Structure 1
Amino acid sequence: MDKAKKEGRYSRVYDQLVELLKKSEDTTAQMCTINAVLKNKFDYFFWCGFYCLTPDGRMVVRTYQGPVACMELKKDTGVCWAGVNQRKTILVPDVEKFPNHITCDSRSKSEVVVPVFNANNEVIGVLDVDSIELNSFDEIDALWLEKIIALLKK
Protein backbone atom coordinates (compact mmCIF):
# COMPACT_ATOMS: atom_id res chain seq x y z
CA MET A 1 0.00 0.00 0.00
CA ASP A 2 1.49 3.37 -0.93
CA LYS A 3 2.13 5.87 1.87
CA ALA A 4 -0.64 8.34 0.94
CA LYS A 5 -3.25 5.59 0.77
CA LYS A 6 -2.02 4.13 4.07
CA GLU A 7 -2.17 7.56 5.80
CA GLY A 8 -5.71 8.10 4.53
CA ARG A 9 -6.89 4.70 5.66
CA TYR A 10 -5.37 5.11 9.12
CA SER A 11 -6.96 8.54 9.45
CA ARG A 12 -10.41 7.12 8.65
CA VAL A 13 -9.88 4.10 10.95
CA TYR A 14 -8.75 6.39 13.76
CA ASP A 15 -11.88 8.55 13.41
CA GLN A 16 -14.04 5.42 13.39
CA LEU A 17 -12.36 4.09 16.53
CA VAL A 18 -12.73 7.41 18.36
CA GLU A 19 -16.51 7.07 17.96
CA LEU A 20 -16.69 3.33 18.65
CA LEU A 21 -14.56 3.43 21.80
CA LYS A 22 -16.81 6.09 23.34
CA LYS A 23 -19.48 3.39 23.69
CA SER A 24 -17.68 1.53 26.49
CA GLU A 25 -15.26 2.35 29.30
CA ASP A 26 -14.25 -1.33 29.48
CA THR A 27 -10.64 -1.74 28.32
CA THR A 28 -11.11 -5.35 27.18
CA ALA A 29 -14.12 -4.39 25.06
CA GLN A 30 -12.11 -1.54 23.58
CA MET A 31 -9.20 -3.87 22.79
CA CYS A 32 -11.57 -6.30 21.07
CA THR A 33 -12.98 -3.47 18.97
CA ILE A 34 -9.52 -2.20 18.01
CA ASN A 35 -8.50 -5.72 16.92
CA ALA A 36 -11.63 -6.23 14.85
CA VAL A 37 -11.42 -2.88 13.08
CA LEU A 38 -7.70 -3.11 12.34
CA LYS A 39 -7.82 -6.73 11.15
CA ASN A 40 -10.71 -5.97 8.81
CA LYS A 41 -9.48 -2.63 7.44
CA PHE A 42 -5.87 -3.57 6.62
CA ASP A 43 -5.46 -6.52 4.29
CA TYR A 44 -1.80 -6.99 5.25
CA PHE A 45 -2.70 -7.55 8.94
CA PHE A 46 -2.51 -11.36 9.29
CA TRP A 47 -2.83 -11.35 13.08
CA CYS A 48 -3.71 -8.53 15.45
CA GLY A 49 -3.97 -8.77 19.21
CA PHE A 50 -3.07 -7.69 22.70
CA TYR A 51 -0.66 -9.43 25.03
CA CYS A 52 -1.00 -8.20 28.61
CA LEU A 53 1.20 -8.47 31.67
CA THR A 54 -0.18 -10.35 34.65
CA PRO A 55 0.43 -9.34 38.29
CA ASP A 56 2.96 -12.19 38.59
CA GLY A 57 4.99 -10.92 35.60
CA ARG A 58 3.81 -13.23 32.83
CA MET A 59 2.68 -12.03 29.38
CA VAL A 60 -0.51 -13.69 28.16
CA VAL A 61 -2.75 -13.17 25.16
CA ARG A 62 -6.00 -11.37 25.95
CA THR A 63 -7.86 -10.49 22.78
CA TYR A 64 -7.01 -11.07 19.14
CA GLN A 65 -8.16 -11.57 15.56
CA GLY A 66 -6.53 -14.18 13.33
CA PRO A 67 -5.23 -17.72 13.73
CA VAL A 68 -4.64 -19.31 17.13
CA ALA A 69 -2.01 -17.43 19.13
CA CYS A 70 0.67 -18.37 21.62
CA MET A 71 -1.20 -18.17 24.91
CA GLU A 72 1.83 -17.14 26.97
CA LEU A 73 5.16 -15.66 25.86
CA LYS A 74 8.43 -16.75 27.46
CA LYS A 75 9.75 -13.96 29.67
CA ASP A 76 12.17 -11.49 28.07
CA THR A 77 12.03 -13.28 24.71
CA GLY A 78 10.76 -12.08 21.35
CA VAL A 79 9.35 -8.87 19.94
CA CYS A 80 6.53 -8.37 22.46
CA TRP A 81 8.89 -8.53 25.43
CA ALA A 82 11.29 -6.20 23.59
CA GLY A 83 8.43 -3.66 23.32
CA VAL A 84 7.72 -3.99 27.04
CA ASN A 85 11.34 -3.89 28.18
CA GLN A 86 12.35 -1.03 25.87
CA ARG A 87 9.04 0.82 26.41
CA LYS A 88 8.83 1.65 22.71
CA THR A 89 7.33 0.54 19.42
CA ILE A 90 9.33 -2.16 17.66
CA LEU A 91 9.23 -2.56 13.86
CA VAL A 92 10.48 -5.92 12.56
CA PRO A 93 10.84 -6.15 8.77
CA ASP A 94 11.85 -9.85 8.90
CA VAL A 95 11.01 -11.86 12.02
CA GLU A 96 13.60 -14.50 11.13
CA LYS A 97 16.31 -11.89 11.74
CA PHE A 98 14.99 -10.79 15.16
CA PRO A 99 17.00 -12.36 18.01
CA ASN A 100 14.98 -14.92 20.01
CA HIS A 101 11.83 -14.37 17.93
CA ILE A 102 8.88 -16.41 19.18
CA THR A 103 7.13 -18.20 16.32
CA CYS A 104 3.42 -18.64 17.07
CA ASP A 105 2.58 -19.12 13.37
CA SER A 106 5.28 -19.84 10.80
CA ARG A 107 3.38 -17.83 8.18
CA SER A 108 4.18 -14.55 9.97
CA LYS A 109 7.08 -12.76 8.29
CA SER A 110 7.05 -9.19 9.68
CA GLU A 111 5.70 -7.58 12.83
CA VAL A 112 5.04 -4.37 14.71
CA VAL A 113 4.61 -4.18 18.50
CA VAL A 114 3.28 -1.11 20.33
CA PRO A 115 3.45 -0.89 24.13
CA VAL A 116 0.30 -0.08 26.08
CA PHE A 117 0.76 2.23 29.07
CA ASN A 118 -1.56 2.73 32.02
CA ALA A 119 -2.39 6.08 33.65
CA ASN A 120 0.81 5.81 35.75
CA ASN A 121 2.96 5.43 32.60
CA GLU A 122 3.62 1.76 33.38
CA VAL A 123 3.64 -0.74 30.52
CA ILE A 124 0.71 -3.11 30.96
CA GLY A 125 0.98 -4.95 27.65
CA VAL A 126 1.40 -4.58 23.90
CA LEU A 127 -0.54 -4.47 20.68
CA ASP A 128 1.08 -7.03 18.38
CA VAL A 129 0.42 -7.08 14.63
CA ASP A 130 1.84 -9.68 12.23
CA SER A 131 1.92 -9.89 8.44
CA ILE A 132 2.60 -12.82 6.11
CA GLU A 133 4.73 -10.51 3.93
CA LEU A 134 8.21 -9.18 4.66
CA ASN A 135 8.60 -5.44 5.31
CA SER A 136 4.87 -4.81 5.78
CA PHE A 137 5.18 -2.22 8.55
CA ASP A 138 6.82 1.20 8.56
CA GLU A 139 6.85 4.47 10.49
CA ILE A 140 3.30 5.27 9.32
CA ASP A 141 1.99 2.09 10.94
CA ALA A 142 3.98 2.81 14.11
CA LEU A 143 2.72 6.39 14.40
CA TRP A 144 -0.95 5.59 13.81
CA LEU A 145 -0.98 2.45 15.95
CA GLU A 146 0.50 4.49 18.81
CA LYS A 147 -2.29 7.07 18.34
CA ILE A 148 -4.90 4.30 18.33
CA ILE A 149 -3.50 2.70 21.51
CA ALA A 150 -3.61 6.11 23.21
CA LEU A 151 -7.42 5.99 22.82
CA LEU A 152 -7.72 3.11 25.30
CA LYS A 153 -9.26 3.87 28.69
CA LYS A 154 -6.75 2.19 30.98
Structure 2
Amino acid sequence: MFKVEKYTGSREDGYSLVKKQLIALIEDEKNQIANLSNASALLNQFLDRINWVGFYLMEEEDLVLGPFQGLPACVRIPIGKGVCGNAALKKETILVPDVHQFPGHIACDAATQSEIVIPMIKNGQLIGVLDIDSPEKDRFDQLDQKYLEEFVSILVEHL
Protein backbone atom coordinates (compact mmCIF):
# COMPACT_ATOMS: atom_id res chain seq x y z
CA MET A 1 0.00 0.00 0.00
CA PHE A 2 1.32 3.41 -0.97
CA LYS A 3 1.59 5.91 1.86
CA VAL A 4 1.74 9.64 1.18
CA GLU A 5 4.33 11.39 3.28
CA LYS A 6 4.25 15.11 4.00
CA TYR A 7 6.67 17.35 2.13
CA THR A 8 8.61 19.33 4.72
CA GLY A 9 12.11 20.70 4.87
CA SER A 10 14.07 22.04 1.92
CA ARG A 11 12.89 21.91 -1.68
CA GLU A 12 15.70 19.44 -2.38
CA ASP A 13 14.41 17.17 0.38
CA GLY A 14 10.89 17.43 -1.04
CA TYR A 15 12.04 16.49 -4.52
CA SER A 16 14.06 13.60 -3.11
CA LEU A 17 10.96 12.30 -1.33
CA VAL A 18 8.71 12.69 -4.36
CA LYS A 19 11.18 10.71 -6.50
CA LYS A 20 11.15 7.90 -3.91
CA GLN A 21 7.35 7.98 -3.90
CA LEU A 22 7.31 7.77 -7.69
CA ILE A 23 9.48 4.65 -7.61
CA ALA A 24 7.22 3.07 -4.99
CA LEU A 25 4.17 3.78 -7.17
CA ILE A 26 5.48 2.53 -10.50
CA GLU A 27 8.20 -0.06 -9.89
CA ASP A 28 5.86 -3.07 -10.03
CA GLU A 29 3.36 -1.71 -12.57
CA LYS A 30 3.78 -2.14 -16.32
CA ASN A 31 0.72 -0.19 -17.52
CA GLN A 32 1.86 3.12 -19.02
CA ILE A 33 -1.44 4.95 -18.48
CA ALA A 34 -1.59 3.90 -14.82
CA ASN A 35 2.00 5.05 -14.24
CA LEU A 36 1.53 8.37 -16.00
CA SER A 37 -1.73 8.93 -14.11
CA ASN A 38 -0.10 8.33 -10.75
CA ALA A 39 2.93 10.44 -11.72
CA SER A 40 0.73 13.43 -12.61
CA ALA A 41 -1.30 13.02 -9.39
CA LEU A 42 1.91 12.80 -7.35
CA LEU A 43 3.32 16.00 -8.88
CA ASN A 44 -0.02 17.76 -8.47
CA GLN A 45 0.04 16.95 -4.77
CA PHE A 46 3.72 17.87 -4.35
CA LEU A 47 4.04 21.08 -6.35
CA ASP A 48 2.46 24.23 -5.00
CA ARG A 49 1.34 27.21 -7.06
CA ILE A 50 0.54 25.21 -10.19
CA ASN A 51 -2.71 24.99 -12.16
CA TRP A 52 -1.96 22.08 -14.51
CA VAL A 53 0.37 19.09 -14.65
CA GLY A 54 0.29 16.28 -17.15
CA PHE A 55 1.64 14.46 -20.12
CA TYR A 56 1.41 14.77 -23.86
CA LEU A 57 2.36 11.60 -25.72
CA MET A 58 3.72 11.20 -29.25
CA GLU A 59 1.17 9.91 -31.73
CA GLU A 60 2.28 10.02 -35.35
CA GLU A 61 3.43 13.65 -35.86
CA ASP A 62 1.64 15.25 -32.90
CA LEU A 63 1.67 15.36 -29.13
CA VAL A 64 -1.66 14.04 -27.86
CA LEU A 65 -3.09 14.71 -24.41
CA GLY A 66 -2.37 11.98 -21.87
CA PRO A 67 -2.99 11.65 -18.13
CA PHE A 68 -3.15 14.99 -16.32
CA GLN A 69 -4.44 16.92 -13.32
CA GLY A 70 -6.19 20.24 -13.92
CA LEU A 71 -8.73 21.85 -16.20
CA PRO A 72 -9.53 20.35 -19.60
CA ALA A 73 -6.63 20.94 -21.99
CA CYS A 74 -5.66 21.17 -25.63
CA VAL A 75 -5.93 17.66 -27.08
CA ARG A 76 -3.41 17.76 -29.93
CA ILE A 77 -0.24 19.87 -30.26
CA PRO A 78 1.85 19.77 -33.44
CA ILE A 79 5.60 19.29 -33.01
CA GLY A 80 7.26 22.72 -33.07
CA LYS A 81 4.15 24.59 -31.89
CA GLY A 82 3.86 26.20 -28.46
CA VAL A 83 6.11 25.38 -25.52
CA CYS A 84 5.31 21.65 -25.58
CA GLY A 85 5.84 21.31 -29.31
CA ASN A 86 9.13 23.22 -29.17
CA ALA A 87 10.45 21.15 -26.25
CA ALA A 88 9.53 18.04 -28.24
CA LEU A 89 11.21 19.34 -31.40
CA LYS A 90 14.42 20.34 -29.60
CA LYS A 91 14.30 17.35 -27.23
CA GLU A 92 15.26 19.66 -24.36
CA THR A 93 13.57 21.22 -21.38
CA ILE A 94 12.03 24.63 -21.90
CA LEU A 95 11.43 26.82 -18.86
CA VAL A 96 9.25 29.85 -19.58
CA PRO A 97 9.09 32.55 -16.86
CA ASP A 98 6.32 34.48 -18.69
CA VAL A 99 4.26 32.59 -21.29
CA HIS A 100 3.09 35.88 -22.80
CA GLN A 101 6.67 36.49 -23.92
CA PHE A 102 6.96 33.07 -25.63
CA PRO A 103 6.27 33.37 -29.38
CA GLY A 104 3.46 31.04 -30.41
CA HIS A 105 2.44 30.08 -26.87
CA ILE A 106 -0.72 27.96 -26.91
CA ALA A 107 -3.06 29.17 -24.18
CA CYS A 108 -5.11 26.20 -23.00
CA ASP A 109 -5.83 27.99 -19.70
CA ALA A 110 -5.88 31.80 -19.68
CA ALA A 111 -4.72 31.76 -16.03
CA THR A 112 -1.33 30.24 -16.93
CA GLN A 113 1.56 32.69 -16.51
CA SER A 114 4.64 30.42 -16.49
CA GLU A 115 5.43 26.92 -17.70
CA ILE A 116 8.04 24.18 -17.75
CA VAL A 117 8.09 21.34 -20.27
CA ILE A 118 10.42 18.33 -19.97
CA PRO A 119 10.79 15.94 -22.92
CA MET A 120 10.46 12.21 -22.27
CA ILE A 121 13.08 10.33 -24.28
CA LYS A 122 13.52 6.57 -24.29
CA ASN A 123 16.19 4.82 -26.36
CA GLY A 124 16.80 8.08 -28.23
CA GLN A 125 13.14 8.40 -29.21
CA LEU A 126 10.80 11.13 -28.02
CA ILE A 127 7.79 9.45 -26.39
CA GLY A 128 6.16 12.57 -24.96
CA VAL A 129 6.55 15.54 -22.66
CA LEU A 130 5.73 16.46 -19.07
CA ASP A 131 4.01 19.85 -19.02
CA ILE A 132 3.52 21.91 -15.85
CA ASP A 133 1.76 25.29 -15.77
CA SER A 134 1.51 27.92 -13.06
CA PRO A 135 -0.76 30.93 -12.55
CA GLU A 136 2.33 32.85 -11.31
CA LYS A 137 5.10 34.37 -13.40
CA ASP A 138 8.59 33.02 -12.66
CA ARG A 139 7.20 30.00 -10.79
CA PHE A 140 9.86 27.55 -12.03
CA ASP A 141 13.63 27.79 -11.68
CA GLN A 142 16.78 25.77 -12.35
CA LEU A 143 16.25 23.68 -9.20
CA ASP A 144 12.78 22.67 -10.42
CA GLN A 145 14.24 21.88 -13.83
CA LYS A 146 17.01 19.68 -12.38
CA TYR A 147 14.71 17.63 -10.18
CA LEU A 148 11.83 17.41 -12.66
CA GLU A 149 14.26 16.10 -15.28
CA GLU A 150 15.37 13.45 -12.75
CA PHE A 151 11.69 12.64 -12.05
CA VAL A 152 11.03 12.19 -15.78
CA SER A 153 14.15 10.04 -16.14
CA ILE A 154 12.92 7.68 -13.41
CA LEU A 155 9.46 7.56 -14.97
CA VAL A 156 10.74 6.87 -18.48
CA GLU A 157 12.83 3.93 -17.20
CA HIS A 158 9.55 2.26 -16.14
CA LEU A 159 7.51 2.98 -19.27
Question: Residue deviations 1:35-60, cap 9 Å, x none?
Answer: 00110111222100000110x21211
Corresponding residue of 2:48: 43
Q: Give the alignment's Cα RMSD to 1 decimal.
A: 1.2
Give the TM-score of the pair, scaled to structure 1.
Answer: 0.92
Corresponding residue of 1:81: 85
Contact 1:88 1:115 in 2 (8 A): yes
Aligned length: 149
Corresponding residue of 1:105: 109
Identity of paired residues, percent?
A: 37
Q: Determine the C-alpha separation between the residues in 2 that align with 1:76 and 1:5.
A: 36
Amino acid at match of 1:79: V
Corresponding residue of 2:126: 123
How far off its partner does 1:74 sit? 3.7
Corresponding residue of 1:8: 13
Contact 1:13 1:41 in 2 (8 A): yes
Corresponding residue of 2:136: 133
- SS in structure 1 of the partner of residue 154 of structure 2: coil
Q: Determine the C-alpha separation between the residues in 2 that align with 1:140 and 1:110.
A: 15
Runs of 4+ in 1 over 6 A off after TM superposition: none
Amino acid at match of 1:37: L
Contact 2:93 2:117 in 1 (8 A): yes
How far off its partner does 1:142 sit? 0.9
**Structure 2 alignment gaps of length 5 or more:** 1-8
Amino acid at match of 2:24: E
Question: Residue deviations 1:17-69, cap 9 Å, x none?
Answer: 11111130222211111100110111222100000110x21211011001111
Contact 2:115 2:131 in 1 (8 A): yes
Q: Which range moved further: 16-25 or 84-93?
A: 16-25
Corresponding residue of 1:68: 72
Contact 2:88 2:119 in 1 (8 A): yes
Corresponding residue of 2:3: none
Cα distance change, pair 75–116 in 1 and its aligned pair in 2 (3 A):
closer
Contact 2:79 2:86 in 1 (8 A): no
Give the TM-score of the pair, scaled to structure 2.
Answer: 0.89
Amino acid at match of 2:131: D
Question: Residue deviations 1:103-132, cap 9 Å, x none?
Answer: 0000000000000012x2111110000000
**Structure 1 alignment gaps of length 5 or more:** none
Amino acid at match of 1:69: A
